Structure 1
Amino acid sequence: MKLQVVVHRARLGAEEFRVVRPARPLTRALLVDRDRYLNAYLDQDAARDIAGLWMLAARSPRSLVHVPIRANRPPDGAVPDGMGSRLDLVLLHHSLQFAPSRWKQVRGRIGPGRPQTASLPVAEPDDLTRVDHAARHHRENRDLFHQHLHAETLFMTGSAQVFRATVGHFLDIARKGPGYIEAHPGSQHFCTELHSNDGTLGNAREVHIEYCDQWAA
């Protein structure tokens, strides 16, 4: 799988941060804070791109993978006004030990960037079925996502293993969403979820991920 990205540098004092963004804007993607949970709305292309960025975060422990989507228009019939704040997304490996409180400064110092093509392994649709589910619920399991909110941004911090174990959610949306909507015109709802019972969430809320093919112009 090839993913077009732009690699930026941002310097704070003696420290330099590597920030990776998708080369093309994900205009049909939205992340909304619903208080008790988070709601992601994606079309097929955005779901495929986020799956690629998810895999990139798994193999790039020194990078902040930034998905700027909070200014996007909502899908038709979704996200009424007053029903949650819209967020950007940052994916990062826990070993980076980045403090989200520094993000606003880093974001303000991001340079122009350099285009790059990332070569990623082709993920299979059944990636989730290969995970040792019993081990996920063991008390020593450290392959968990932790979330922080800062500067209108959701930070998803985790290990390479937990990123790889959960990329299948976005692949399902990209591969199955369009066909499901076509086959079930009366339903118009295809979704998946990062659920608290999956054993992948530590200090983190559930994320409801919904396929949407109709978006505001």
Structure 2
Amino acid sequence: MRLRLREFRPRTGPREHRTVQPWQPLRHTSLRAPAPVGTLTGDHDGLNRLAGLLSFAAHSPHTIVHVPLREAVPPDEGQGPLVDLVLVHHAFGLRAARWPELRHRLRQGTPLTVRTDEARTARDAATWRARQGHADRRADLRHTTHAGTLFLFGDRYVFAEAAMSLAYAAGWGPRQKGVTEGHPALVSGLWGLRQPPGGGHPVEVLVCFKAYPPYAHFRRP
């Protein structure tokens, strides 16, 4: 997939923080943080581009991927405020509390075009699935919500699995019943979220497809 991005290189002290955003906003894609259940709702374009961004994040361990989603058209369904999304590798060492300062420095970005490797992403996702049941908790998606942003911390394999889940939603969402009338369709989820100790309701982010109006113009692929 070819992705058009905006690249920033803000500095805090001696360190540079390479950060990218989508060049065009994902106007019809929105995110509600898990509390304990969150929802990621988008049209084909938004879910497809998010899949590409996750694939890029999987193989970019020194880059922060910031997806502004709070200004998206809010869906009628769901409760709770909309949040942005940040994807970053465990090893990068970003603390969520430092993000507001970095976000404030995201100015005068430069155009960047990248290509993702879907075959490699599929292989890495398969590796993640094969490793399930092992005791390595680094394979989880750590998550926290801070400053209107959901942070997902992972490695190449769990980000690749999330990318495949969103690609599936983008491809099969338009084929679900009721979507031509504007109804959302639950298609997949972000798997691998780290669960809190002690049990209770699992933390989930459900991925839903929803076409945007006018629905008379919507056509299934």
Q: TM-score range by the shorter chain?
A: 0.7 to 0.9
1:93 partnered with 2:89: yes
| Corresponding residue number in structure 2 for 1:38 | 38
User: 1:22-171 residue pairs with structure 2 within 5 A?
Assistant: 22-33=22-33, 35-75=35-75, 77-79=76-78, 83-123=79-119, 130-131=126-127, 133=129, 135-171=131-167
Once the two structures are TM-superposed, the CA of residue 148 in structure 1 deviates from its matched residue by 1.4
Cα distance in 2 between the residues matched to 1:132 and 1:110: 33
SS at match of 2:18: strand
Instruction: Indicate conservation of the 8 Å contact 2:30/2:40, yes or no.
Output: yes
| Corresponding residue number in structure 2 for 1:173 | 169
Cα distance change, pair 13–184 in 1 and its aligned pair in 2 (3 A): closer
SS at match of 1:138: coil
Instruction: Indicate conservation of the 8 Å contact 2:128/2:139, yes or no.
Output: no
| Corresponding residue number in structure 2 for 1:212 | 210
Instruction: Indicate conservation of the 8 Å contact 2:182/2:211, yes or no.
Output: no
CA RMSD between the two structures: 2.6
Q: Given residue 85 of structure 1, which amino acid in structure 2 is its aligned partner?
A: P
Q: 1:139-192: CA deviations, max 9, x gaps?
A: 135211000111100000000111112211111111111122478869752421
Deviates more, 1:115-124 or 1:43-52: 115-124
SS at match of 1:69: coil
Deviates more, 1:183-192 or 1:108-117: 183-192
Cα distance in 2 between the residues matched to 1:122 and 1:186: 30
Once the two structures are TM-superposed, the CA of residue 122 in structure 1 deviates from its matched residue by 2.4
Identical pairs, percent: 30
Once the two structures are TM-superposed, the CA of residue 22 in structure 1 deviates from its matched residue by 0.5
* Gapped regions of structure 1 (runs ≥ 5): none
Cα distance in 1 between the residues matched to 2:166 and 2:35: 22
| Corresponding residue number in structure 1 for 2:218 | none
Structure-1-length-normalised TM-score = 0.85
Q: Given residue 161 of structure 1, which amino acid in structure 2 is its aligned partner?
A: Y
Q: Given residue 166 of structure 2, which amino acid in structure 1 is its aligned partner?
A: F
